Structure 1
Amino acid sequence: GQTLLPLHFRGHDSDVTSSIPSSDHKTRTHQTILHHSRHRNHRKNSTKPLLDLGTNLTWLNCHQLQSLTSLHTVACDSDSCEVTPGNGCNENSCLYKQPNPLGSQNITSRVVQDAASFSTTDGGNFLSQVSLRIFTFSCAYNLQGVSPPVDGVLSLSPGSSSFTKQVTSDFNVIPKLALCLPSYGTGRFYVAGVYLKSPPFDNNTSQIPKTLTPMRIDSGDYLISVQYIYVDGTPLTLNPNLLLGGVAAKLSTMVPYTVLHTDIYNALAQSFTLKAEVTSVAPFKDCFDAQNVAGKDMTGPNVPKIEFGLPGKTGEVTWGFYGANTVVKVSEMVMCLAFYDGGKNLNDWIVIGTHQLQEYLLEFDLSTSTFSFSDSLLLHYTNCSTSPS
């Protein structure tokens, strides 16, 4: 079976290459590169949008795209505008109003269309190049909250206008997204994904155990149900009603560290706390003396294992997180619990952030409404990174 790896983004007369996620250590976000060239002098240019599992429509920097010869604005009375959520009009130009995933203010952008090209792959080998003749996205001149080198957001959400939805619908392929987010360097993401066989993996990754749990979609977000949380195999001491029936946990590539409702966070911190606690280091709440950690292994510092208990086909399954995903070293002497206390008024009681998603094979399958996660790749002496950045 073929899977689509996005490699090209272009207007006519453009020479375009590469679209793969790389990690930003400071923000724990992951960005991709969309290469294109200007028509007049053929000078190559590029945009670097963040990968976002929640945004419904890709939005990019208009300044970087205005010279593409085939780029055109979507008219207000067109079908493309009508199906765009949050649409509006300005002088017969279709506008898109959406929440800014990096700030508090909404972003208003123009809805535009251009062509996009991709390469098909079996996970390791190039097969053929195909084109998406009409790719609908938006561009804005004022990207509030976005700092260079990032200049936009690539939508990987389950929404009707997302990048992934447009690709899978146009090519009539399985509506599936596969991610391998690196903790450093460069990783991979696939549309209509199959097991990855490209570097850094020496063998077919079907040999790495994977676990399935039901997934549901709400307001354009991917959600899974967390029924229990364990620390070294012991369930957290919580109000019995807190996780009763499972709490919807949102999966996010825009939140750097998993955010928990205060009651859940406090129970986790109390169970996880190591000896010799030290003064907290913002933005973290619970920190401890790094010298108190008994070394490290391939999965990171030797600290208590955290597991999320999830529903499976025949009973509970667990998603295990090890030191590389549960703590962060803020100095030579201090480590902190890599979770945020989100307060008691959260819309989502659990938001699973990128620090916890890194170095796992993740698959979002809309055809079966399932989310698949592998063992930590670190357990298998590999990772998502192909090279240092």
Structure 2
Amino acid sequence: MSSLTLTRLILFFSIFAAITLKSNSQYLLPITKHEPTNQFYTTLNLGSGGTSSSNLLLDLETNLTLVNWNIFNPPLFVNNLVICKSSTCNSIPGNDCDDNGLFCVYRQSSLLGQNVGVIGAVVQATVNISTTDGGNLLSPFTVHPFTFSCAGEEPLQALPPPVSGVLSLSPVSSSFTKQVTLLFGYIPKFSLCLPSSGTGHLYIATVNYLIPPFNSDNPIRMTLTPLKNIYTGNYLIDVKSIYVDGTPLSFNPNLLAGGAKLSTVVPYTVLLTDIYNALAQSFTLKAKTMGISKVQAIAPFKDCFDARAAGKNMTGPNVPVIDIGVPGRGGEVKWSFHGANTVVNVTETVMCLAFLDGGQNPKDLLVIGTHQLQDHMLEIDFSTSLMGLSDSLLLHNTSCSTWPSQN
């Protein structure tokens, strides 16, 4: 064999090995639920060796990760300030320059749905995340450079303690997950498994989910539906219809034209008044046939029921099932929500429909909140612009809080 042929073979297998490594690279961050707000955060270790740990709220809309540090005096482990009008700065929606025109700053007009402006210096540092086999946290992995913003304390005061910032999960290239996958050429997708309690999972570029009893031989089944206008900064899916125990709701179908937006900061699904009224009326009638009567409402909920009259099953209270009809392969498919996701126990004797009336003129006609997303696997794949939606993991006697037992 000639030296040239040998060199080509070595080069080929080196490239093949690199591609295989990248396609099999999987990363995992734990998710913690903040019980009082029904919001979720992860802990990010910044700096070489994880010098600083920050609890960051998961947000599907913020375009750049925000950390509560003094914008004029960032920590020593921050490697550099991003230069104004550089390619890195220009890639961030909301980029601007400081007053001297030297350094990049990030501006955001509102934060987490609140009319709170954010401005912060754009900086870079090392971030440490963990590799995974799809279930366990394995060895640490360093991402450098990681670009984020020192947002300062004032705009982040609304965050619940012990949270000190926001982890960007938006579809833009400056989001946390996009930075990780673009920097190393990994599979451009991430997945969320929000826990109803305990510790959940934030996956990056993962192909195998090891949440017992699921594994590579018994994968979590996903309903695939297209993402609408993914690069506008939101995660939207088409909604064809809404059902209660199989019966479609009756309202003007044009009200669903804008689709449904997914949110990790809105605690309960918010609906336009006309949609909410149709849902509540149908749910109440179906519940009545099951012997579940209405009781005095408890704010912020409008429709509440006698929790003692509802039986229990593996998915929580035995109440009517709510389905959202979304486009799938070959036609409409149903994304189903059972008792644990459709009602919430407000007291020992009162449970309420876990949906909110958003009024007649909300900014978004339908926003799916965290209570509905809990214990479902969500997979967002940028390479196909598809979202994978699992049914409730509770139906399989498991949950997002379940981790493989380590030997």
For the residue of structure 2 that corresponds to 1:282, the secondary structure is coil
* 1:36 shift after superposition: 4.8
1:4 paired with 2:12, answer no
Tell whether the 8 Å contact from 1:3 to 1:190 is kept in structure 2 after alignment. Answer: no
Q: 2:314 maps to which residue?
A: 298
**Which amino acid letter does the alignment assign opposite residue 74 of structure 2?**
Q
1:132 paired with 2:143, answer yes
TM-score, normalised by the number of residues in structure 1:
0.88
Q: Structure 2: how far apart are the matches of 1:214 and 1:181?
A: 21
Tell whether the 8 Å contact from 2:172 to 2:231 is kept in structure 1 after alignment. Answer: no
* 1:219 shift after superposition: 2.5
Q: 2:60 maps to which residue?
A: 53
Go from structure 1 to structure 2 and tell me whether the alpha carbon gap of 1:325 and 1:369 turns closer, same or farther (over 3 Å shift): same
Alignment of 1:76-87 (within 5 A): 76-87=84-95
For the residue of structure 2 that corresponds to 1:221, the secondary structure is coil
Tell whether the 8 Å contact from 1:102 to 1:145 is kept in structure 2 after alignment. Answer: no
Q: Structure 1: how far apart are the matches of 2:207 and 2:27?
A: 11
Q: 2:103 maps to which residue?
A: 93
1:257 paired with 2:296, answer no
Any stretches of 5+ residues in structure 1 without a counterpart?
7-18
**Which amino acid letter does the alignment assign opposite residue 53 of structure 1?**
L
Tell whether the 8 Å contact from 1:4 to 1:118 is kept in structure 2 after alignment. Answer: no
Equivalent of 2:351 in 321, 324, 335 = 335
TM-score, normalised by the number of residues in structure 2:
0.84
Q: Structure 2: how far apart are the matches of 1:121 and 1:100?
A: 31
Q: 1:280 maps to which residue?
A: 297
Go from structure 1 to structure 2 and tell me whether the alpha carbon gap of 1:311 and 1:102 turns closer, same or farther (over 3 Å shift): closer
Tell whether the 8 Å contact from 2:45 to 2:127 is kept in structure 1 after alignment. Answer: no
Q: 1:365 maps to which residue?
A: 381
* 1:218 shift after superposition: 5.0
**Which amino acid letter does the alignment assign opposite residue 341 of structure 1?**
D
Q: Structure 2: how far apart are the matches of 1:89 and 1:22?
A: 35
Q: Structure 2: how far apart are the matches of 1:70 and 1:111?
A: 10
Q: Structure 2: how far apart are the matches of 1:24 and 1:375?
A: 23
Tell whether the 8 Å contact from 1:24 to 1:184 is kept in structure 2 after alignment. Answer: no
Alignment of 1:132-171 (within 5 A): 132-141=143-152, 142=154, 143-171=156-184
Tell whether the 8 Å contact from 1:309 to 1:318 is kept in structure 2 after alignment. Answer: yes
1:228 paired with 2:244, answer no
Q: Structure 1: how far apart are the matches of 2:135 and 2:354?
A: 33
* 1:22 shift after superposition: 0.9
CA offsets 1:171-213 (integer angstroms, 9 cap, x no match): 111211111110011011111121311xx52440644322111
Q: Structure 2: how far apart are the matches of 1:344 and 1:124?
A: 43
Tell whether the 8 Å contact from 1:2 to 1:122 is kept in structure 2 after alignment. Answer: no
Q: Structure 2: how far apart are the matches of 1:118 and 1:49?
A: 14
Q: 1:103 maps to which residue?
A: 114
Equivalent of 1:219 in 232, 241, 258 = 232
Q: Which moved more, 1:110-119 or 1:320-329?
A: 110-119
Q: Structure 2: how far apart are the matches of 1:147 and 1:63?
A: 19
Q: 1:15 maps to which residue?
A: none
Tell whether the 8 Å contact from 2:33 to 2:197 is kept in structure 1 after alignment. Answer: yes
Q: Structure 1: how far apart are the matches of 2:326 and 2:50?
A: 50
CA offsets 1:13-39 (integer angstroms, 9 cap, x no match): xxxxxx4111112111110012357x9
Go from structure 1 to structure 2 and tell me whether the alpha carbon gap of 1:343 and 1:126 turns closer, same or farther (over 3 Å shift): closer
Q: Structure 2: how far apart are the matches of 1:126 and 1:2?
A: 15
For the residue of structure 1 that corresponds to 2:30, the secondary structure is coil
Q: Structure 2: how far apart are the matches of 1:344 and 1:188?
A: 36
* 1:84 shift after superposition: 1.8
Tell whether the 8 Å contact from 1:211 to 1:372 is kept in structure 2 after alignment. Answer: yes
Q: Structure 2: how far apart are the matches of 1:43 and 1:220?
A: 30
Q: Which moved more, 1:319-328 or 1:175-184?
A: 175-184
Q: Which moved more, 1:208-217 or 1:60-69?
A: 60-69
Any stretches of 5+ residues in structure 2 without a counterpart?
1-22
Go from structure 1 to structure 2 and tell me whether the alpha carbon gap of 1:333 and 1:289 turns closer, same or farther (over 3 Å shift): same
Tell whether the 8 Å contact from 2:221 to 2:390 is kept in structure 1 after alignment. Answer: yes
- Of all paired residues, the percent bearing the same amino acid is 54
Q: Which moved more, 1:44-53 or 1:124-133?
A: 124-133
CA offsets 1:259-301 (integer angstroms, 9 cap, x no match): 11111000000000134322221111111221222x1111010
Equivalent of 1:352 in 364, 368, 390 = 368
Q: 2:17 maps to which residue?
A: none
For the residue of structure 2 that corresponds to 1:101, the secondary structure is coil
1:242 paired with 2:258, answer no
Q: Structure 1: how far apart are the matches of 2:128 and 2:45?
A: 11
CA offsets 1:71-121 (integer angstroms, 9 cap, x no match): 322222422222222122223232111121152111111111112233333
Q: 2:128 maps to which residue?
A: 117
Q: Structure 2: how far apart are the matches of 1:24 and 1:56?
A: 22
1:180 paired with 2:180, answer no
Tell whether the 8 Å contact from 1:52 to 1:254 is kept in structure 2 after alignment. Answer: yes
Q: Structure 1: how far apart are the matches of 2:91 and 2:46?
A: 27
Go from structure 1 to structure 2 and tell me whether the alpha carbon gap of 1:79 and 1:375 turns closer, same or farther (over 3 Å shift): same
Go from structure 1 to structure 2 and tell me whether the alpha carbon gap of 1:234 and 1:119 turns closer, same or farther (over 3 Å shift): same
Q: Structure 2: how far apart are the matches of 1:367 and 1:310?
A: 20
Tell whether the 8 Å contact from 2:85 to 2:97 is kept in structure 1 after alignment. Answer: no
Q: Structure 2: how far apart are the matches of 1:125 and 1:2?
A: 15
